[in-house]
Amino acid sequence: FPVTNKHCGKCHGVDIAAPKGGIYLGGEEVDCKINLSAVAAVLSGRMPPGSQLSAEDRHGVVLELSEAK
């Protein structure tokens, strides 16, 4: 997830022992409910906090999370 890790990895990435909100994006397991929650947060503009994603990056995050297997 290159775009997702760029914008979300600091708080929810593979190197985080205790990800914020219990939302872990990465690794072997994919949790569809978490991915849908992350997509909703990105689309609503709530995530990532403190920054606005460009339309291209927002599309990239949504695409990566929706295609995760």
Q: What is the pLDDT of residue 63?
A: 92
| Two structure tokens written together for 32 | 């569809």
Give CA–CA dist 26/52, Å, rounded: 22
pTM (whole model) above 0.75: yes
Residues of the chain above pLDDT 90, percent = 26
Q: What is the pLDDT of residue 27?
A: 63
Q: What is the pLDDT of residue 3?
A: 92
Q: Which residues of the chain have pLDDT under 50?
A: none
CB count in 10 Å sphere of residue 18 = 6
CB count in 10 Å sphere of residue 34 = 19
